[in-house]
């Protein structure tokens, strides 16, 4: 069976391989060649900012922490570093309760199955991340999908089903990972209030980049208090490891007792928690990086309201692969995105901009995009 599946994937132009690469600052090195990296989620350019040298100098003088946490947080893995980080994140989010977990996938597959039950309904945008879809499949609650960012369709589903269920959750992303567009959060909040629902918001690609001090899309839209659960990752704009959930104290306590992906997983290593804390302390002072990133987006797209994730649509898989090849020939590392990551017939090149780029690099790349895309 596996052989046949792999042959079919190859015939479809959809067979994947793990690339053999090295990272050198803003570049990818593959087979001895250097490429400017435009596929990373390091949106603020922190992984090559030099901050790691300052952090490691501090760490070298402190022998009080371990490099690993070989246990669940509920056993012996809940080091003091967790407490400090969660308190700092809580302060960042105006005193909301915060729970740090191993990664965004663990949050998205763990929270909704924990907080929903039979008799509940989840209404999820059709373009939510695969991790959220995997989470939906584990829920005892019923779930349905609404057309991408289609508030009329969402309202029709609410009108039809709201009275049949106890709790109804609306699930969406502030910035969508493959299309780079934004959810209409104010409209969603309006529907929440009119139909008495709850909101789960994935801020993975907005945290660090948007909103006051980089707090995310909900903060930018002024709807933070209307979001019942927010999830953000620490391994994208923050260039660290892990994720966190922002919610109320009761829900946090409930997750500690019912979230299987937290309970049955190994805790994050203290060095990662301290690196995250180090960056969180500096995140409010990174407006220059956020402004630079916004400037780069406008220089490539010609639009001021686009995000740092820019898709170049190819349609068919082989067309996306060919576009990626042409970019690499010109010295840029951009990868083809194909089903099942995106729907059939929607293959694309996904450009991820980073504040680590220079004006000259961005201008040269924009010119190439016009000739290839």
177 is catalytic: yes
Domain boundaries, the chain: 2-37+309-372, 56-284
Q: Catalytic pick from 202, 203, 220, 277? A: 202
Q: What pTM value is reported for the model?
A: 0.95
Domain 2-37+309-372 matches domain 56-284 at the CATH topology level: no
Q: Which of these, 156, 204, 201, 208, lies nearest to 183 by C-alpha position? A: 201
Coil vs helix vs strand at 306: coil
Q: Catalytic pick from 96, 205, 308, 346? A: 205
The helix (run of H) or strand (run of E) holding residue 98 is strand 97-101
d(CA 38, CA 131): 23
* The pLDDT of residue 373: 64
**2-37+309-372: CATH topology:** 3.90.1150
Distances (CA, A) of 323 to 177, 317, 326, 332: 20, 10, 5, 11
CA angle 184, 95, 166 (to 5 degrees): 55
Q: Catalytic pick from 177, 272, 317, 352? A: 177
Q: Catalytic pick from 129, 192, 198, 346? A: 129
* The pLDDT of residue 231: 98
41 is catalytic: yes
Contact yes or no for 13/317 (Cβ under 8 A): yes
The tens place of each residue's pLDDT in the chain, 373 residues long, gives: 999 999 998 888 888 889 899 999 899 999 999 999 999 999 999 998 889 999 998 887 776 667 888 899 999 999 999 999 999 999 999 999 999 999 999 999 999 999 999 999 999 999 999 999 999 999 999 999 999 999 999 999 999 999 999 999 999 999 999 999 999 999 999 999 999 999 999 999 999 999 999 999 999 999 999 999 999 999 999 999 999 999 999 999 999 999 999 999 999 999 999 999 999 999 999 999 999 999 999 999 988 889 999 999 999 998 999 999 999 999 999 989 988 888 889 999 999 999 999 999 999 999 998 887 6
CA angle 57, 60, 61 (to 5 degrees): 95
Q: Catalytic pick from 173, 179, 203, 228? A: 173
CA angle 23, 308, 98 (to 5 degrees): 85
At 135-181, the pLDDT tens digits run: 999 999 999 999 999 999 999 999 999 999 999 999 999 999 999 99
Q: Catalytic pick from 96, 192, 198, 236? A: 236
Pick the CATH number of 56-284 from 3.40.50.2300, 3.30.565.10, 3.40.640.10, 3.90.45.10: 3.40.640.10
166 is catalytic: no
* The pLDDT of residue 45: 96
* The pLDDT of residue 16: 87
Q: Catalytic pick from 39, 40, 41, 108? A: 41
Contact yes or no for 237/208 (Cβ under 8 A): yes
236 is catalytic: yes
């Amino acid at each position: 069976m596996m052989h046949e599946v792999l042959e079919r994937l190859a015939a479809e132009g959809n067979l994947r391989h793990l690339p053999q690469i090295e990272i050198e600052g803003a570049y990818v090195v593959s087979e001895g060649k250097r490429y400017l990296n435009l596929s990373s989620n390091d949106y603020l350019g922190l992984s090559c900012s030099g901050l790691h040298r300052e952090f490691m100098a501090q760490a070298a003088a402190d022998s009080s922490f371990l490099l690993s946490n070989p246990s669940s947080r509920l056993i012996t893995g809940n080091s003091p570093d967790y407490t400090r980080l969660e308190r700092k994140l809580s302060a960042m989010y105006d005193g909301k309760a915060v729970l740090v977990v191993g990664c965004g996938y663990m949050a998205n597959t763990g929270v909704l199955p924990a907080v929903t039950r039979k008799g509940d309904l989840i209404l999820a945008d059709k373009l939510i991340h695969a991790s959220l879809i995997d989470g939906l499949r584990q829920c005892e609650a019923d779930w349905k999908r609404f057309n991408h960012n289609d508030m009329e369709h969402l309202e029709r589903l609410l009108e039809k089903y709201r009275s049949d269920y106890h709790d109804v959750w609306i699930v969406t992303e502030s910035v969508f990972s493959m299309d780079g567009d934004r959810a209409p959060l104010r409209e969603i909040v309006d529907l929440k209030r009119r139909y008495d629902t709850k909101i789960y918001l994935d801020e993975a690609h907005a945290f660090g980049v948007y909103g006051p001090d980089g707090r995310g899309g909900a903060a930018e839209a002024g709807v933070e208090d209307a979001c019942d659960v927010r999830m953000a990752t620490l391994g994208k704009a923050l260039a660290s490891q892990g994720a966190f959930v922002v919610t109320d104290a009761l829900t946090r306590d409930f997750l500690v007792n019912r979230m299987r992906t937290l309970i049955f997983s190994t805790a994050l290593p203290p060095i990662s928690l301290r690196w995250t804390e180090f960056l969180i302390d500096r995140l409010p002072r990174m407006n220059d990086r956020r402004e630079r990133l916004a400037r780069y987006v406008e220089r490539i797209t010609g639009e001021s309201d686009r995000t740092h994730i820019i898709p170049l649509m190819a349609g068919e898989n082989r067309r996306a692969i060919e576009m990626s090849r042409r970019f690499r020939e010109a010295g840029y590392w951009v990868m083809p995105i194909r089903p099942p990551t995106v729907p059939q017939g929607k293959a694309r090149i996904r450009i991820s901009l980073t504040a680590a780029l220079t004006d000259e690099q961005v201008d040269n790349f924009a010119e190439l995009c016009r000739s290839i895309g």
